[in-house]
Amino acid sequence: MKQWLFLVIFLIPSAATAQSAMHFERGTMFAGGQIAFQTHELDYPAPTGDASIKTVTFMPEFGWFMKSYLAAVGSVAYQSISGDTLERSTFSVGGGIRLFQPLALLHIYIGVEGGFFFSSYEADDRDTLDFGLKVPLGLLVPLSHSVALDVGMRFTKIWRDNDHPAGENYHSFIIDVGYLGVQAFF
């Protein structure tokens, strides 16, 4: 907790001086994204044993401001999921729009993005094609006139195709709380 408090106290003076220099004009571009590592330990009741799943995600994002408050965004992603009984990799491509609004020292944004997820399961050589919608919500904390800390949440809904060869059709709703990234504007 003390580390987070120190980080906030350290960033506020930096954000106050950077705010006056951070403006989004038509034609401004940005790049950022996510590199994430996750581990899940699953405790199933008997007779099924416990399981562990490790996930590695690499997702660069890019965008272009059509107006000072509206940006078109796109992303590509690769995700590797491995566990005791599961091996799969997912490649996704997505795009959408984000609305930005300056608030005192920060910029708040909300968006709507859609994408396709192609998953390949290594164990039995099968593939799936899923469709998803994502609503990113966050704050940009300026660190300089061209770099901002991106803090927020991601709400994602994914629909799996109905022709899945193993009959594993599902709909999932994922809430990523505590998204943290860096955005560079140029």
Mean per-residue pLDDT, 118-141: 83
Q: What is the pLDDT of residue 124?
A: 66
Here the tokens at position 81 are 């999921």
Task: Quote the mean pLDDT of the chain.
Answer: 81
Please state the pTM of the whole predicted model.
0.74
Mean per-residue pLDDT, 151-172: 73
CATH topology of domain 2-185: Porin (2.40.160)
Span 64-120, pLDDT tens digits: 999 999 999 999 999 998 887 778 888 999 999 999 999 888 899 999 999 998 888
d(CA 180, CA 186): 20
